[in-house]
Amino acid sequence: MAKKVEQKQEIKVNVSLDKIREAVKDVAGVNKLVDTAITDQKKAYGSIARAMIATVCHAHIHGDVRPMTRLITDTANYAGRRNAMIGFCEKHGPISWDSANKKVRYRKARALADFMDNVGEDSPLLAMLEDAPNWKAYSPEPEYKPFNALEQFEKFAKRVVNKAENATKKDNIPESLLNDLVILAKRHGLELELPTDDSKELATKQVSAAKQDAAVAVAKASKKAPATAKTKAA
């Protein structure tokens, strides 16, 4: 069975390669493929926008979010920009995204039965239609950044050191690990400052002071509440 699958994949690749070989004979053929890709993508994003509008209207009127779930999950496999679709649909539709189960949840409290009939100046329908061409802005695609191992190591090392400075009894940060991090960082031109006993003591005092301030604030608020109630009763 595995051999048959491999053969099918090979045939598919060969067909694609034949087309590419034909296209790369001159730059005109390459540009033609690029133009086709750009046009197809614009058409696809336009189709997604129209489908989102339809599924939002359907959810408002019928309380059915199954088509919206299918749209978001299935188109995401083909550069559908799932997070942007979720953002758009959550703003305009009576829904929320269930990330754990990867599906749309209906929110009856947000549903508008007259969603499609209300076309006044402040119409939610018109607001959605105006917003639709920019739906991808709900989750802009991040700029590509190549992996930088040294940068990631520095972030990790600083997190460990900072945590060690404010460590609790439950935290497990061996001193030998901290020393190894400092040595490794120096080899690569990075400077790490290990927490001293003084800095740890200062951090503990700061946390303790913050807790005391919070307790005092709560106590003052609880004292004022009964007095206000008596005043209103009088």
Q: Are 154 and 185 in contact (CB under 8 A)?
A: yes
- For residue 5, the model assigns a pLDDT of 47
Closest to 177 measured CA to CA, from 154, 162, 196, 157: 157
Which residues, 6 or more positions from 102, have their beta carbon under 8 angstroms from its beta carbon?
Answer: 73
- In tens digits, the chain (234 residues) has pLDDT values of 444 444 444 444 444 777 788 878 889 888 988 898 899 989 999 999 999 999 999 999 999 999 999 999 998 777 678 999 999 999 999 999 999 999 999 999 999 988 988 877 789 999 999 999 999 999 887 787 888 888 888 888 888 877 777 766 667 778 788 788 888 888 888 887 766 655 445 445 555 666 666 776 777 666 665 544 444 444
Determine how β-strand 103-106 pairs with β-strand 95-98: antiparallel
- For residue 143, the model assigns a pLDDT of 82
Interatomic CA distance for residues 61 and 51, integer angstroms: 15
Q: With DSSP H G I counted as helix, E B as strand and the rest as coil, what are the percentages for the chain, rounded to 5?
A: 70, 5, 25
User: What residues does each domain of the chain span?
Assistant: 16-138, 149-227
Q: Are 95 and 40 in contact (CB under 8 A)?
A: no
Interatomic CA distance for residues 195 and 227, integer angstroms: 47
- Joined tokens for residue 197: 């006993």
- For residue 106, the model assigns a pLDDT of 96
- For residue 170, the model assigns a pLDDT of 67
How far, in Å, are 148, 150, 173, 201 from residue 178 at the CA level?
22, 17, 8, 18
